[in-house]
Structure 1
């Protein structure tokens, strides 16, 4: 099975790009959604995260804003959180792979915001980065409820720069040109990955 890693900084259109892969019939694993389930009531991360970060569990689920405050700008704390959550996400992903294989999928997309930052890029056959100009990125993100320039800058400080992501990608989807051009780019990526002559070597 072909593994495609999809990533992109906040506000770059990664979720929209993931939806286009789904529309094209490619199963997509949403790491953010998996983490949300792990943090929700009954989720496997609630207990260990609550023990590691006292006060972030409220009403029997992880308060994501409280947890964000507990790790934002604190690399060691973020590393401690990742050590708890990443193995749980990995277990969840195994179930996704099993279902995709049973359904006869020839490729899957792993939608992982921190694909490079967590080292996950070494485990995929190709890397797709959703990207847009920085001005458009800020416009999109600052339009979100509760977002501030300071919070955006803090989030970006934890993410690999967009220019570096694009330089390390096999494919870049430019989300600034509208939905239909992006959809065409996604279709071209799928076709390239299905053709052994155009499929990139795993070299990054």
Structure 2
């Protein structure tokens, strides 16, 4: 089975591409859902988080807003959280890939915003990067999430540069247009993915 990564900057349209792939019948492992699964009540990661930041676990459940307040703008605390979560997320993703492979699935996609930043791209066969211009990303952030321009710029600045992601990409989907244009680009890219990952 071929493992294909899917990533892109905030408001690039990565999640929409993932939904279009699911519509095609392609299995997609969603990093955000995996991250939620590893901190469910009773999981070891939640216990470690509670030990380090007692105020962020209430009634046995993670208070994401409280945790976000602790780590936002604090690189030391953010790295501590990543050290707890990333190995467990990686193990969970590997387990899900293995299950799909056992079922005879020819290719599966792992969708993650920090795929390149965490080094997980090195464990994948191909990498699709969804890209949008900064102008389009800013507009989408303001329209979708209600940010003002300054807030939208801060969100973009907090991510890896597009150049870092694009340098690792096997395939790039430009997404500055509408949904029809995105579908057309995905059709072309996925045909290339299927061609490249068939019979080898």
Q: State the TM-score, normalized to the length of structure 2.
A: 0.87
In structure 2, how many angstroms separate the alpha carbons of the residues matched to 1:107 and 1:125? Answer: 10
Q: Is the 8 A contact 1:6 1:128 kept in 2?
A: yes
**1:144-183 correspondence runs (5 A):** 144-145=144-145, 147=147, 149=149, 151-183=151-183
In structure 1, how many angstroms separate the alpha carbons of the residues matched to 2:148 and 2:56? Answer: 22
37-46 vs 67-76, greater mean Cα deviation: 37-46
In structure 2, how many angstroms separate the alpha carbons of the residues matched to 1:138 and 1:43? Answer: 37
Partner in structure 1 of residue 3 of structure 2: 3
User: 5+ unaligned residues in a row in structure 2: which ranges?
Assistant: none
Work out whether 1:54 is the aligned partner of 2:84: no
Partner in structure 2 of residue 103 of structure 1: 103
In structure 2, how many angstroms separate the alpha carbons of the residues matched to 1:15 and 1:166? Answer: 17
**1:45-194 correspondence runs (5 A):** 45-145=45-145, 147=147, 149=149, 151-194=151-194
Q: State the TM-score, normalized to the length of structure 1.
A: 0.85
- How many residue pairs get aligned? The number is 198
User: 5+ unaligned residues in a row in structure 1: which ranges?
Assistant: 200-204
Mark the CA change 1:96 to 1:160 in structure 2 (over 3 Å): closer, same or farther. Answer: same
Q: CA deviation at 1:50?
A: 1.6
